[in-house]
Structure 1
Amino acid sequence: MDDPTAPLPRPAIPEPRFGEFVVMIALMMGVTAFAVDSILPALPLLGHDFSISDPNRLQLVVFVYMLGFGVAQLVFGPASDIVGRRRAYLTGAAIFVAGSLLTLFARDLGTLLAARFVQGLGAAAGRVLSVTIVRDRFSGREMAKVMSLNMGIFITVPILAPAIGSLIMLLGGRQAVFAAMLAVGLLLALWFWRRMPETLADANRMPFSVSRILAGMRLVATTRVTVGYATATGLLFGCVMGMVGSSQQIFTETFGLGPWFPLAFAAIAGSMGAASLVNSRLVGRFGMRRISHASVVALTVLGLVQVAGALAFAGKPPLFLFGLVLAASQFLLGMAFPNFNALAMEPLGRVAGTGSSLLGVYTTLLGVLCGALMGHAFDGTVIPISAGYCALASAAVAVILVTERGRMFQAHHHP
C-alpha cells in the first residue's frame, strides 16, 4: 500500500517544441553576449565617472567578465552530470542575478570589475548547459544543425545589444544598462524553470567521485579530435574577443563614428548570424569538416588581405573597405564556430557535461588571452586587429592540419 504521507510526485514538465527549445538554448548562450556588448556604448561614460584616463583599461570590463565566465565552466559541467542539468543551470542563473545586483552599487572600477567577475561566473552555466542539453538530445550532423540555428539566434543578441544599450542609457543612464541585465537574467531563469525538463536520465547521473571526474578530464585531454578542434575554436574566439574589446575605440576614435558606433557594430556582427543560418542548411549536405576547413582557410587568406589593406593606408583604411573585409571575416567565423564545437563535442557523449565544461574553460580562456593581447595593442589604427586576425586564423589552420594528420576537407575523420 502506498504511504499516504509520501510527497506527491512533481508533474512532469512537457517537452518544449523544437522552435521554443532552440530559442531558449540560444538565449542561455545569448545572455553572455548581451552582458558583454550592451555595455560597450557606456565605456566612455564609465571612464568619465570613474576618472579612468587610459581607455584601454576600460576593456577590463569585458575581459574580467569573460575571465569569470571561463573559470566557472570547469564547475558547472561536472556538477550537471551529478545533480542534473536543471539544478546546475538555475544555480548559475542565481549567481548571475547576484552579480547583476552588485553592478548597480558599483561606485569605482574595482568594485565594478568584481561584480562583473561574479556575473561571468553565473553566466558560465548558460554556456555549458546549453551545449550539454543539445548534446543530450542530438548527435552528429543533426547536432551541428541545431548548434547552427542556436548560433544564428545567439549572434542576433550582440548585433542588437550595443544599440539596445545606447537606447537604455538614453532613457535611464548607465545604471539602467545593468538593471536590464538583471531583468534579462531573471526572466530567462523563470522561463527555463517553467518550460525546460531535465534532459539527463536518472540512469546516466554520476555520483560525486573525484576519480570519475579526473577520468572524464583525462578522456577529454587525450582525445585528439576534441583537443585539436577546441584549440582551433579558442584561437578563432580570440578574433571575436579582440574585435569586441577594441570595437568601441576603433569605430569612435579611428573612424570617428561617435553615436553611430552601434550601427557599424551591428552590420559587422550580423554577418556571423547570417553565416550560422547558412551553415545550418549546408552542413547536412557537405559535412562539418568540409565547411569548417574551407572557412578557416578562407579566413586566413582574408586575414592577409586585411593586413595588406591596413598597411597600405597607414593603419586607417577607408571605413567601407575595413568594414567589408571585417564583415566577411565574421561570416567565415560564423561558418566555422558551430562545426568546430560539434566536432570537439562529438566523441564525448559519455562525459558530455564534464567535456562541455572543460572545452568551455579552455576555449574561453584561450580566446580571452588572445583577444586581450589584441585589444591592449590598440594604437589608434586597425593594424593590431588586422594582424591578430591573420595570425590566429593561420594558427588555427596549422592546428587542424596536425589534428587531421594533414588530411583536410574529408567528410569523416580517420584515426
Structure 2
Amino acid sequence: MTAQTKSGPAVDEGSARIGLGFSEFVITMALMTASISFAIDSMLPALPHIASALHVEKENDAQLVIAVFFFGFGLSQLFFGSLADAFGRRRVLLAGLAIFTVAMLGAAWTESFTALLILRFCQGIGGAAVRICTTAITRDCFGGREMARVMSYIMIVFMLVPIIAPSLGQAVLFFGDWSWIFVLLGGVGAILFLWAALRMRESLPQAERQPLSLASVVSGFSTVLTNRITCGYMIALTLFTGVICAFIVTVQQVFGTVYGLGDWLPLAFAGTGSGIALANFGNGQFVRRFGMRRISHAGMIGFTILAALIFLLSLGGKPPFLITYLGLTLLLMMFAVVATNFTAISLEPMGHIAGTATAITGFVSTTGGAILGGTIGQMFNGTVQPLFGGFAVFGAVSLVAVLWAERGQLFTHPGDETALDPAAGHM
C-alpha cells in the first residue's frame, strides 16, 4: 500500500517504507535495539572482574559500569531526536552505530576505571541514536495497535538477548579477560552498521522533516508536556524504566551476594529474560483483541501488589530463593507488557513529531529511570528489601500518573481504538 505525503508523491506504508519485508523489518529493528541490551547484560558476570582489574575500592561502585551507560543513553536522546526529524532517520542511525562501535573497541584497551566509564557514557550516546531511530522508524511505518503489535514482536527478539548475553559474557571470561567482551560488542556494532548502510532506505520523506532549531525542540517539549496522555504515560514509563534499571544494576549482587549463585548467575538471569520474551509474545498476540490499556493497566496494578507483598515478606528475613526468583520473573513479565504498551500509548498522539517526541520521552524516562534505579542500587544492603520496596513505590506512583493521564478512568480510552488527534489529549 502507499500513502500521500504533504507534497503529493505516494510513499510505501508498513515495512515496505524502508524497503524491507515485514519479518525482515521486525528482525532488523529488533537486532538494532538488542545491541543496546547486549551492551548492558553481557557486562553482568564481568563486573567483579572489572572491579578487581581496575582497582575499584567500593563494591557498589562496580554498578557504575551499567549506570553510566544508562546516563549517556538517556541524556543524549533529546539531541538525536531533533537530528532524526531534521535530517532523516537513516543518517542518524548510521552515526549512532559508528559511535557505539568505536567506543566499544576503545573500552577494550583501557586501563583506567575513569576512562572506562567515559567510554561507557559514549557507548550509551551511540545506543541512544540507535534507540531513537529504530522507534521513530517503527512509528513512521506503523500506528496504533499495529505499532504495539510490531513493537511486541521486536521486543521478543530484543529480550532473547538477556537470555544469552550473560552466558556469552561468562563464556568470554572463561577463555579470556573482560576486555574481549568489548571487542565482541564492537564487532556486533560494525556488522549492524554495514547492514543498515546496505539494506535500509530512509523512512521520513523530505516533505515531513522538521527544521533543526532550538525553537523546534522547545515546541516539541511544549507539545509533549501539554498533551495529558503523552505526559502522564511518560511519567509512568520513567518509573518503570527505574524498575528495569534497579534490577539490572543489583541483580549480580542479589543473586550472587544474597543467594550465592556464583557462576549460576547467567542461567538465573536467562530465566527472567525468557519470562519477559514470553510476556511480549503474549502481548503481540492479544493486544489487538483486548487493547493496550486493558493489558498494561492490569499489568501495572498486578506489579504493584506483588512487589508490595514480597517487600512485606522480606521484612521478616530473607525470603526463600524460589519466592524471590519467581517473584522477580513475574514482576519483569508484567514490566514487559507495561513498558511496551506505555511507550506505544505515549507516542500515539505524536505522529507528526515522532522523532522529537521519542527523544523527549526517552530522555525523560531513561535519565529519570537511571537516577531512580541507580538510587535503589546504591541502597543495596545485603538484602532484597531495597529492590522490592522500590518496585512497590514505583508501581504505586505510576498508577497515580496513569489515573491523571486518563482522568481517573482505567482499562479503556477512545484513543486505544483509533489514532489520537495531536490535540485530543491536551490538558
Q: TM-score, normalised by structure 1?
A: 0.94
- RMSD across aligned positions (CA): 1.4
* TM-aligned CA deviation for residue 15 of structure 1: 1.2
Deviation by residue 1:261-300 (Cα, 9 ceiling, x = unmatched): 1111111122111111100111100111111111100111
Q: TM-score, normalised by structure 2?
A: 0.92
**Higher alpha-carbon deviation: 58-67 or 149-158:** 149-158
Structure 1 residue aligned with 2:356: 354
Structure 1 residue aligned with 2:137: 133
Deviation by residue 1:300-333 (Cα, 9 ceiling, x = unmatched): 1111121122123x1x211111101110101111
Equivalent positions of 1:145-160 (< 5 A) are: 145-160=149-164
1:268–1:327 contact (8 Å) kept in structure 2: yes
Structure 2 residue aligned with 1:185: 189
Q: How many residues are matched?
A: 402
Equivalent positions of 1:2-401 (< 5 A) are: 15-312=19-316, 314=317, 316-401=318-403
CA distance in 2, matches of 1:69, 1:62: 11
SS in 2 for 1:406: coil
CA distance in 2, matches of 1:132, 1:259: 39
Structure 1 residue aligned with 2:10: none
2:26–2:154 contact (8 Å) kept in structure 1: yes
CA distance in 2, matches of 1:70, 1:62: 13
SS in 2 for 1:106: coil
2:17–2:141 contact (8 Å) kept in structure 1: no
CA distance in 2, matches of 1:306, 1:130: 36
2:250–2:380 contact (8 Å) kept in structure 1: yes
CA distance in 2, matches of 1:368, 1:125: 17
Which amino acid is the alignment partner of residue 358 of structure 1? I
Deviation by residue 1:338-386 (Cα, 9 ceiling, x = unmatched): 1100000000011111111111101101110110011111111111101
After TM superposition, the runs of 4+ consecutive aligned structure 1 residues lying more than 6 A away are: none
* TM-aligned CA deviation for residue 189 of structure 1: 1.0
Deviation by residue 1:85-115 (Cα, 9 ceiling, x = unmatched): 1101101111111211220121121010011
Sequence identity of aligned pairs in percent? Answer: 38
Which amino acid is the alignment partner of residue 47 of structure 1? A
CA distance in 2, matches of 1:118, 1:215: 27
Deviation by residue 1:139-166 (Cα, 9 ceiling, x = unmatched): 0000010011111111111221111110
Which amino acid is the alignment partner of residue 266 of structure 2? P
Which amino acid is the alignment partner of residue 385 of structure 1? L
Structure 1 residue aligned with 2:408: 406
CA distance in 2, matches of 1:57, 1:215: 39
CA distance in 2, matches of 1:377, 1:177: 28
Unaligned runs of 5+ residues in structure 2 are 1-15, 416-423
Deviation by residue 1:45-103 (Cα, 9 ceiling, x = unmatched): 11111222311000000011110111111111110111111101101111111211220
CA distance in 2, matches of 1:317, 1:293: 28
